[in-house]
Amino acid sequence: MKNIFGMGKIELEEILVAQNYPRFRAKQIMDWLYQKQVASFQEMRNLPKLMRLELEENFSIEHGTVISALHSKDEKTIKSLLAFTDGEMVETVLMKQPYGNSVCVSTQVGCNMGCSFCASTLLGMKRNLTAAEMLAEVIYNQKLLKNAKVTNVVLMGSGEPLLNYEAVLQFLHMLHDADMLNIGYRNITISTSGIVPMIRRLAKEALQITLSLSLHAPNNELRSQLMPINRKYSLDELFPALDEYVQLTKRRITYEYILIDRINDTRECAEELAHLLKNRLANVNLIPINPVKERGYKRPSLGRVQEFLHDLQRKGINATIRKEMGADINAACGQLRNRKQLLYKEEEA
C-alpha cells in the first residue's frame, strides 16, 4: 500500500488521474494532509464517499506514531519521540519563542559524526530519514500548537543533514511549498559539521536558507579532538567552501561554538576565533555545553562565558549567547538521543 503522505501536487495529480479522478482533487487532499493535518481519508469530508473508500483501500497516510512527549517546566519546550513504520525512532523538539514557534528536526536516526560532546552520536547512525518522515516531525509539532503556526524550522536534531542531501533538499522544498507548509526559506536553518563538497553543492542551489556551521574550536588540532570530521575536512578546506557559500548566496553564516570548561573557552581560543572570522560575514552563537552524562565535559561558569563573549565583541565579531531551552528535559543542543537512550532515561525518572 503506497503512502500518500509527503507527496506534492504533481505526483498526487498523476496518481489521481491514473485512478480516473479529476486533478483538482489533489489540492483538496493536500489541504487535508498539510493544512488540517488529518490522519485518515474518512476525515476528508469534501471528497465523495466512494472516493474516500477507494483511497483507503489503495493508499495509506503514514506520518509516524508518537511514543512519548516531555514538557519543560516553563512549558515552552516539548521534546517528542516519534516512531516510523520500520520501528526506528527519532526525537523532535518544539520551542515556543517570542518571535515565533520553532521546530528542531532530526534528519537521520542517530548520527555517526562522533563529536565528543554530543549525545546523538553515542550509538551511531541507523539510517537516513525520508523527506516525508522529516515533514512528519513538523506536522506533528504543528498539531501541538493547535491555533498557532510553526514559523521556523531548524535542521539541528540528530544526524548530519548534508549526508542525507537529496532527502533534505526535497524536505526544504516541501516546507516552502505554498500547498504544503508555506514556510519561507529565510525561516529555515541547516546545521552542518562541515561536509565540504555538500556545502559547495548547497551554495549552488541558491536557496535563501541560513547555514549554521558547528565550529566549536578555532584551530585544527583542537577541532579534530572534538570533531573527527575535521580530520577529513580541515579548517583549511572548510573555510574556502564557506566563503564560496557566502559569495553565492549573500547570506551570513552562523557559527555554533559550544563552550567547554577549560578546553575551548580560554582567552587564547577567543583570540584565535576572532582572527579566523575577521572580515567574514558571520555571527557566532555561543552555547555553554549542556550536560551529557556519558561525556564528562563541564559547563563553564557564567563569568567565563561572558568573558569569552566580550573578547569576541572587542575584536569586532558579532556574537551572542544562545538562549537555553529544554535542558531540563534533555532537549537542548547536543542532548538529543535515539530511542533506547530516551526510554532508559524515562525508566530512570
Any catalytic annotation for residue 333?
yes
**Of 111, 118, 269, 333, which residue is the catalytic one?**
333
Q: Where are the alpha helices (DSSP H) in 146-293?
A: 165-176, 196-205, 220-226, 235-249, 267-277
Q: Are strands 100-104 and 89-97 parallel, antiparallel or unpaired?
A: antiparallel
Grid coordinates given for 268? 587564547
Q: How far apart are CA 110 and CA 89, in angstroms?
A: 9
Q: Classify burial at 49, counting beta carbons within 10 Å of its beta carbon; exposed 0-12, middle 13-18, buried 19 or more.
A: exposed
Instruction: Count Cα neighbours of 179 within 13 Å in the Cβ-side half-sphere.
Output: 14
Q: How far apart are CA 111 and CA 108, in angstroms?
A: 7
If you compute the radius of gyration of the chain from its CA atoms, what whole number of angstroms results?
21
Instruction: Count Cα neighbours of 188 within 13 Å in the Cβ-side half-sphere.
Output: 21
Grid coordinates given for 29? 487532499
**Of 13, 91, 133, 137, which residue is the catalytic one?**
91
**What one-character DSSP code corresponds to residue 44?**
-
Any catalytic annotation for residue 111?
no
Longest dimension (CA), the chain: 71
Give the count of beta carbons closer than 10 Å to the beta carbon of residue 120: 27
Read off φ and ψ for residue 176, nearest 5 degrees.
-85, -25
Residues 318-321: contacts with CB under 8 Å, at least 24 apart? 318/282, 318/283, 318/284, 319/283, 319/284, 319/285, 319/286, 320/283, 320/284, 320/285, 320/286, 321/286, 321/287, 321/288
Q: What amino acid positions are annotated as catalytic residues?
A: 91, 333
